[in-house]
């Protein structure tokens, strides 16, 4: 019997310890390798964290009973990447196996496919002896002398293909693989503005050491050009660069711009919509160093780049950098941990940085680089606040906004209407008794979907038809409340029957390429008015778009989420930045009942720094992040008593684990959505001034919960963004 090794493998399940497997000693398994193993009947890729010597006879006997490692998926992952997974596990309170899944490939490296074939010196000599009658073979020789490309290969005759196979076997012919270019053609930039020049010089100065630069530039100030220069400089120094973007689907223009600017740089694109095969190929392209630029969404922060020299985070304030399922990491924070360990630079770009980053810049821990002017000389858009209710508002559309749209239509320009739907959807109610359609399984109202005449629960998926009269009082007419995108689209169609109107929200754009198609239609000026949700606010650049209207943003003013004002400021600044980016001047009309509210006033003044300082001061006053750290414990179960017991235990445990001076554990309370799909849901908040005591208290809590058998589905969310 051949020698065996026993290995401990961390698999992506909530187990909390490595599972033992065996493998032939000849495989030479080592720590940090990725291997495929089975748990039950399912196969997983896991990370080897222990390699055991089989010393005693007992050990050997025990190893006989273990399951086999199926195969090796990757040689040892770099220690820096394993350390990053360990950081995620300990900071975000997840088992190491779950965090390890962020860094492992899902399969072994695909065999590289040749892009061409050529004669070896031996093959050249041998085929020189072909006779004049061997025309087909001589033709093949001629092609191979030059390098036979993949498309030429498919045009060969069957006989020639057979001959090629024989020549490859005899080593007369060898494959050529794609190679990444060593020399970089530096991008063609427009003439930089003075502010851009200064920022570029500052960034060039800090290559190769850990410095976080916060590139704060108003929309249209040309931030992309600035960080492109840093990207190009890093790649030409032989390093790889990681560029994180909020959502790939919503930023096709940015990716085109970057790949066009760096035409001979092999780029890997990483996001969650890739097929497993695509994802795996990208993983190995990055790992083997073929890909020099990695562009991706939050998960790309774990890309296995071995020669990483720079991390750029575009729109660093964007909420999509936080993962709202386990492991609940924040890609910006992970990126900074990674960069610090590697001693490399980070660039955070935004027109409205997160208060987390602003605070660091204020304290001098991040370097602040500002671009206050638009690069194109386009003046900033003119902003107006107008009433959103009353006599001059029809179906949610104010006369002022409608007039603006009419002017644009007359001039052949485009308008964008943003419906802020975050945390809100139109519901159905009775004007007589105020009944409104509830979900049978949640503490939520059903959302009215006008186009399909149905009511749907956005939390659990429950559906029902629209009743013809009020189920409570029998009143014959029910009314849809609030302004949804569909209702507003309806209003626009009624007022502008000849306009070409498109709707952009997740309902209307469910297909994979739907947004891309709409995007191109807007660019081609085949659309006059586009109405939709925050997906319209991202960094798009539509030259003929000169009017932006905002409808129904007031709900953010009353939100209980402590980040609501910050989000509103960012959203409205972003969407306003879509107006009049080039030759044509832009205008923004915001419908509100509260024009004097400080957030709206700050948006009008367009002064991020002033807004951020004031908001930060009030956060500090209430002891909220980013001054402090927050964690949220969530628990839900069908059995309400089980939830109560769980939180009683969790509350007591956390209280005794966290010293009084180290933070405050708040009493558990029902979640804002206290019942969802028949589950009773509670949350418990903890706030602490310092990271370390909080992390250790949360670890104690986690161990204690894991040790009890609870029916409750629970999570610990560190630095939570979603309180629903």
Interacting span for Zn ion (CB under 5 A) from 187-195, 250-258, 279-287, 430-438: 430-438
Any contact of residue 352 with ligand ADP (CB under 6 A)? no
Joined tokens for residue 229 = 């220069």
Cα separation, 152 vs 114, in Å, equals 13
Cα separation, 221 vs 139, in Å, equals 57
Interacting span for ligand ADP (CB under 6 A) from 80-88, 214-222, 418-426, 518-526: 214-222
Any contact of residue 553 with ligand ADP (CB under 6 A)? no
- Choose the contact partner of 143 out of ligand ADP, Zn ion, none; CB within 5 to 8 A by kind: none
Any contact of residue 441 with Zn ion (CB under 5 A)? yes
Cα separation, 240 vs 232, in Å, equals 10
- Choose the contact partner of 459 out of ligand ADP, Zn ion, none; CB within 5 to 8 A by kind: Zn ion
Joined tokens for residue 452 = 């399909």
Any contact of residue 478 with Zn ion (CB under 5 A)? no
Closest contact distance (angstroms) between CB of 469 and Zn ion is 8
Joined tokens for residue 608 = 């991020």
Any contact of residue 222 with ligand ADP (CB under 6 A)? yes
Joined tokens for residue 293 = 């630029």
- Choose the contact partner of 541 out of ligand ADP, Zn ion, none; CB within 5 to 8 A by kind: ligand ADP
Any contact of residue 460 with Zn ion (CB under 5 A)? yes
Any contact of residue 459 with Zn ion (CB under 5 A)? yes
Cα separation, 320 vs 340, in Å, equals 22
Any contact of residue 541 with ligand ADP (CB under 6 A)? yes
Cα separation, 568 vs 592, in Å, equals 13
Beta strand segments in 271-344, E: 293-296, 308-314
- Which residue do the tokens 């790939």 mark? 248
- Choose the contact partner of 192 out of ligand ADP, Zn ion, none; CB within 5 to 8 A by kind: ligand ADP
Q: How far is CA 588 from CA 124, 145, 539, in A?
A: 70, 63, 16
The three-state secondary structure class of 20 is strand
Any contact of residue 335 with Zn ion (CB under 5 A)? no
Cα separation, 169 vs 171, in Å, equals 5
Which residue among 163, 213, 221, 565 contacts ligand ADP (CB under 6 A)?
221
Closest contact distance (angstroms) between CB of 378 and ligand ADP is 8
Cα separation, 440 vs 178, in Å, equals 58
Which residue among 295, 457, 530, 658 contacts Zn ion (CB under 5 A)?
457
Any contact of residue 224 with ligand ADP (CB under 6 A)? yes
Nearer to ligand ADP, 12 or 220 (CB): 220
Cα separation, 509 vs 511, in Å, equals 6
The three-state secondary structure class of 402 is helix
Any contact of residue 683 with ligand ADP (CB under 6 A)? no
Cα separation, 548 vs 387, in Å, equals 16
User: DSSP assignment, residue 318?
Assistant: -
Which residue among 22, 223, 408, 503 contacts ligand ADP (CB under 6 A)?
223
- Which residue do the tokens 């995007």 mark? 519
- Within residues 635-664, the interface with Zn ion by CB under 5 A covers none
Beta bridge partners, 551, equal 419
Any contact of residue 473 with Zn ion (CB under 5 A)? yes
Any contact of residue 255 with ligand ADP (CB under 6 A)? no
Which residue among 93, 196, 533, 599 contacts ligand ADP (CB under 6 A)?
196
Read out DSSP for 608-655?
A: HHHHHHHHHHHHHHHT-TTTSEEEEEEEEES-HHHHHHHHHHHHHHHH
Nearer to Zn ion, 4 or 460 (CB): 460
- Choose the contact partner of 650 out of ligand ADP, Zn ion, none; CB within 5 to 8 A by kind: none
Any contact of residue 192 with ligand ADP (CB under 6 A)? yes
Nearer to ligand ADP, 180 or 376 (CB): 376
Closest contact distance (angstroms) between CB of 95 and Zn ion is 30
Residue 195, number of CB atoms within 10 A of its CB: 18
Length of the chain: 724
Nearer to ligand ADP, 539 or 663 (CB): 539
Cα separation, 323 vs 365, in Å, equals 25
Any contact of residue 318 with ligand ADP (CB under 6 A)? no
Any contact of residue 592 with ligand ADP (CB under 6 A)? no
Binding interface with Zn ion (CB under 5 A)? 430, 432-433, 435, 439, 441-442, 457, 459-460, 462, 470, 472-473, 475
Binding interface with ligand ADP (CB under 6 A)? 190-193, 196, 217, 219-225, 375-376, 539, 541
């Amino acid at each position: 019997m051949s020698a065996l090794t026993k290995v401990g493998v961390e698999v992506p399940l909530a187990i909390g310890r490595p599972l033992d497997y065996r493998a032939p000693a000849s495989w030479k398994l080592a720590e940090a390798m990725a291997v495929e193993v089975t748990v039950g009947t399912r196969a997983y890729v896991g990370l080897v964290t222990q390699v055991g010597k089989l010393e005693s006879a007992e050990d050997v006997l025990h190893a006989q009973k273990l399951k086999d490692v199926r195969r090796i998926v990757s040689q040892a992952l770099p220690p820096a990447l394993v350390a990053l997974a360990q950081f995620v596990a300990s900071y975000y309170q997840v088992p190491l196996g779950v965090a390890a899944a962020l860094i492992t490939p899902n399969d072994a490296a695909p065999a590289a496919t040749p892009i061409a074939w050529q004669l070896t010196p031996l093959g050249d000599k041998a085929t020189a002896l072909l006779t004049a009658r061997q025309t087909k073979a001589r033709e093949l020789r001629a092609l191979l002398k030059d390098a036979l490309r993949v498309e030429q290969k498919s045009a060969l005759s069957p006989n020639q293909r057979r001959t090629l196979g024989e020549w490859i076997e005899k080593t007369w012919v060898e494959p050529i693989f794609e190679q990444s270019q060593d020399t970089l053609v530096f991008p063609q930039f427009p003439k930089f503005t003075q502010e851009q020049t200064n920022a570029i010089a500052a960034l060039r100065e800090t290559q190769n050491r850990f410095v976080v630069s916060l590139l704060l530039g108003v929309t249209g100030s040309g931030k992309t050009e600035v960080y492109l220069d840093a990207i190009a400089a890093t790649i030409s120094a032989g390093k790889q660069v990681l560029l994180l973007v909020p959502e790939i689907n919503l930023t096709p223009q940015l990716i085109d711009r970057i790949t066009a600017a760096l035409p001979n740089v092999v780029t890997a694109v990483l996001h969650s919509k890739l097929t497993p095969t695509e994802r795996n190929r990208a993983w190995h392209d990055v790992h083997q160093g073929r890909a020099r630029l990695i562009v991706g969404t939050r998960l790309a922060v774990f890309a296995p780049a071995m020669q990483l020299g720079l991390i750029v985070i575009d729109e660093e304030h964007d909420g999509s950098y936080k993962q709202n399922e386990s492991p609940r990491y924040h890609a910006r924070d992970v990126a900074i941990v990674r960069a610090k360990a590697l001693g490399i630079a980070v660039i955070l770009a935004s027109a409205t940085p997160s208060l987390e980053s602003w605070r660091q810049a204020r304290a001098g821990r991040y370097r602040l680089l500002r671009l206050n002017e638009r690069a194109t000389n386009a003046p900033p858009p003119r902003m107006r606040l107008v009433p959103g209710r009353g006599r001059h508002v029809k179906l949610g559309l104010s006369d002022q906004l409608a007039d603006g749209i009419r002017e644009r239509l007359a001039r052949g320009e485009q308008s964008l209407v943003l419906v802020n739907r975050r945390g809100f959807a139109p519901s159905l109610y009775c004007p007589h008794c105020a009944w409104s359609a509830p979900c049978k399984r949640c503490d939520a109202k059903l959302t009215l979907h006008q186009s399909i005449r149905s009511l749907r629960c956005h939390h659990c998926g429950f559906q029902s038809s629209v009743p013809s009269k009020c189920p409570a009082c029998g009143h014959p007419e029910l009314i849809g409340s609030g302004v949804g995108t569909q209702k507003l689209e309806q209003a626009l169609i009624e007022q502008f029957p000849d306009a070409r109107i498109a709707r952009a929200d997740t309902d209307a754009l469910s297909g994979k390429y739907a947004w891309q198609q709409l995007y191109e239609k807007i660019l081609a000026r085949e659309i006059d008015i586009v109405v939709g949700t925050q997906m319209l606010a991202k960094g798009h650049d539509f030259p003929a778009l000169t009017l932006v209207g905002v409808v129904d943003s007031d709900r953010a003013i009353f939100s209980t989420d402590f980040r609501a004002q910050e989000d509103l400021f960012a959203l409205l600044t972003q969407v306003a930045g879509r107006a009049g980016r080039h030759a044509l001047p832009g205008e923004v009309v915001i419908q509100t009942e509260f024009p004097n509210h400080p957030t709206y006033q700050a948006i009008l003044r367009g002064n991020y720094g002033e807004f951020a300082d004031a908001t930060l001061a009030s956060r500090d006053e209430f002891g909220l992040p980013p001054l402090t750290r927050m964690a949220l414990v969530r628990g839900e179960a069908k059995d309400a008593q089980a939830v109560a017991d769980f939180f009683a235990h969790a509350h007591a445990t956390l209280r005794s684990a966290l010293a009084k001076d180290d933070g405050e554990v708040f009493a558990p309370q029902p979640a804002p959505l206290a019942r969802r799909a028949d589950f009773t849901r509670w949350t418990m908040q903890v706030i602490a001034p310092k990271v370390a005591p909080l992390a250790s208290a949360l670890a104690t809590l986690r161990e204690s919960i894991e040790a009890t058998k609870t029916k409750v589905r629970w999570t610990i969310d560190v630095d939570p963004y979603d309180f629903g």
